């Protein structure tokens, strides 16, 4: 028996070694295929340049759904379908913001209305701007101090956070919910400093949520430079604003998420990868989130091209309406529940097509440790971080169905320079960085498909 106990570990050790070696070879095959023949960059060019920005509810979004359907077919999906989603329709229309201090004449500022807000119905809304340092300070103010004023917040993006996502979260409440706090105090409009890591004058839009108990006041964002200048001016003199905008919610519209898959060879449980097909209504939605969409399609294309044995169903989801409602994500999870579909894992890429560094993961400690045990396979590709505990907005609803979830974690330095702006264009995406992210996603799905 001694001989056998000695041999067994050797046998298992050898098996482990040869498995790890074959995985290492497949990792290289995946990377080589994507870096040399990858279609994601060309696909992104089409989406960004031929269609451009595509807020859900818009005609451009409808065009994008047709495009995604076609691309999934071309990539080799066995099945492609549209999933109905009812989405809010928000339209920007014409908009302008002018300010005036002392004896100066009116001066226009670069601005964007914040998404999902109501405008001024094309009428000039005029009022005095008051600078308030924070929501906490607003809370301490008397209603009479705020009444009929236009409240200006200039909360800066905290540059000391290494993850810019953390800085975005920190400053986010001013865009997400502050308008209703202002309205509660009687303020008639709100101006905020854009949530931006850059120091330029580009306004960054994004979604907000009104508290239904208070008036739906207009809320706009301005660039960082304008914001700092405005704060400075307000230190010494009164400043008045003239705001005019036509934006507002225009009901709902039936549209679609687009889904494609290669059906599992051993079982039909789903391993999903996705991005959101909608974007804000400025720029080209190249980084947010054209990148995530074309990367997900690239994963499927690579599985087919390399004949990677998909034991489980590999499904690509191009979600509708992440930006101003996340209705696509909710609908997808509802349908999965209704059909009793088992999801093993759902991954999103919605942090930009930058050089990948790891994956945010929301899963049991056991599963996470298993993924971490693969880290030596990933390290040669610059992927080393499996410790972050988050997943993409669109895959989060699947957590309730017991699915492990995750998000590709690319380098975060540049994302919030261009997020939700006119600068989010194709030219800001680098080919190798984008393809490397697709490769990392494919490698992770290959491992999960093989070992889960």
- Which residues are at the interface with its own copies (CB under 8 A)? 31-32, 35-36, 159-160, 162, 164, 197-199, 355, 357, 380-382, 384, 411, 413-414, 417, 430-433, 436
DSSP state, 113? E
Q: Among residues 264 and 353, whose Cβ is nearest to its own copies?
A: 353
Q: Among residues 325 and 352, whose Cβ is nearest to its own copies?
A: 352
Q: Are 103 and 85 in contact (CB under 8 A)?
A: no
Q: Among residues 35 and 249, whose Cβ is nearest to its own copies?
A: 35
Q: How far is the CB of 110 from its own copies (least distance, A)?
A: 19
- Most distant CA atoms of the chain, gap in Å: 99
Q: Among residues 121 and 389, whose Cβ is nearest to its own copies?
A: 389
Q: How far is the CB of 157 from its own copies (least distance, A)?
A: 11
Q: How far is the CB of 3 from its own copies (least distance, A)?
A: 39
Q: How far is the CB of 345 from its own copies (least distance, A)?
A: 25
Q: Among residues 160 and 340, whose Cβ is nearest to its own copies?
A: 160
How far apart are alpha carbons 291 and 352 in whole angstroms?
A: 6
The secondary structure of 339-392, three-state, reads CCCCEEEEEECCCCCCCEEEEEEECCHHHHHHHHCCHHHHHHHCCCECCCCCCC
Q: Among residues 355 and 395, whose Cβ is nearest to its own copies?
A: 355
CB-based burial, 333-359: b 16+ in 10 Å, e otherwise: beebeeeebebbbbbbbbbbbbbbbbb
Helix intervals (H) in 208-283: 224-236
Q: How far is the CB of 60 from its own copies (least distance, A)?
A: 27
Q: How far is the CB of 415 from its own copies (least distance, A)?
A: 10
Q: Are 449 and 305 in contact (CB under 8 A)?
A: no
Q: How far is the CB of 26 from its own copies (least distance, A)?
A: 14
Q: Among residues 304 and 357, whose Cβ is nearest to its own copies?
A: 357
Which two structure tokens, joined as six digits, stand for 8? 């067994």
What angle separates helix 291-305 from helix 2-37, to the nearest 10 degrees? 120
């Amino acid at each position: 028996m001694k001989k056998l106990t000695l041999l067994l570990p050797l046998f298992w050790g050898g098996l482990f070694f040869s498995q790890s070696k074959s995985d290492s070879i497949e990792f290289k095959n995946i990377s080589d295929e994507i870096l040399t023949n990858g279609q994601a960059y060309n696909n992104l060019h089409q989406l960004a340049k031929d269609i451009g920005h595509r807020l859900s509810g818009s005609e451009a979004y409808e065009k994008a759904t047709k495009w995604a359907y076609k691309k999934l077919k071309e990539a080799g999906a066995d099945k492609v379908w549209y999933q109905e989603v009812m989405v809010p329709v928000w339209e920007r229309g014409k908009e302008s913001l002018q300010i005036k201090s002392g004896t100066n004449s009116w001066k226009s500022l670069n601005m964007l209305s914040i998404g999902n807000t109501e405008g001024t119905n094309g009428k000039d809304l005029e009022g005095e701007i008051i600078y308030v340092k924070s929501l906490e300070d607003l809370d301490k103010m008397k209603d009479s101090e705020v009444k009929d004023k236009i409240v200006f917040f200039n909360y800066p993006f905290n540059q000391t956070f290494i993850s810019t996502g953390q800085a975005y979260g920190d400053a986010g409440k001013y865009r997400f919910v502050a308008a209703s706090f202002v309205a509660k105090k009687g303020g008639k409009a709100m101006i905020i400093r854009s949530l931006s890591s850059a120091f330029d004058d580009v306004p960054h839009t994004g979604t907000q949520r009104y508290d239904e108990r208070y008036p739906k006041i207009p809320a706009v964002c301005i660039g960082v430079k304008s914001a700092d200048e405005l704060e400075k001016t307000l230190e010494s003199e009164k400043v008045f604003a003239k705001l005019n905008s036509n934006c507002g919610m225009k009901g709902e519209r039936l549209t679609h998420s687009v889904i494609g898959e290669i059906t599992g060879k051993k079982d039909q449980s789903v391993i999903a990868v996705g991005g959101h097909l909608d974007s804000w209504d400025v720029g080209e939605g190249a980084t947010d989130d054209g990148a995530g969409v074309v990367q997900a399609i690239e994963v499927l294309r690579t599985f087919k091209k390399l004949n990677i044995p998909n034991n489980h169903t590999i499904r690509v989801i191009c979600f509708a309406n992440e930006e101003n409602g996340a209705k696509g994500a909710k609908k997808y999870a509802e349908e999965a529940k209704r059909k009793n579909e088992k999801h093993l894992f759902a991954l999103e890429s919605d942090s930009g097509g930058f050089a990948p560094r790891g994956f945010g993961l929301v899963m049991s400690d056991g599963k996470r440790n298993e993924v971490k045990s693969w880290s030596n396979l990933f390290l040669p590709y610059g992927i080393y971080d499996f410790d972050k505990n988050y997943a993409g907005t669109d895959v989060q609803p699947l957590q309730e169905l017991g699915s492990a979830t995750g998000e590709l974690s690319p380098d975060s330095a540049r994302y919030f320079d261009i997020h939700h702006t006119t600068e989010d264009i194709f030219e800001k995406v680098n080919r190798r960085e984008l393809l490397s992210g697709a490769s990392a996603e494919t490698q992770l799905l290959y491992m999960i498909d093989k070992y889960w």
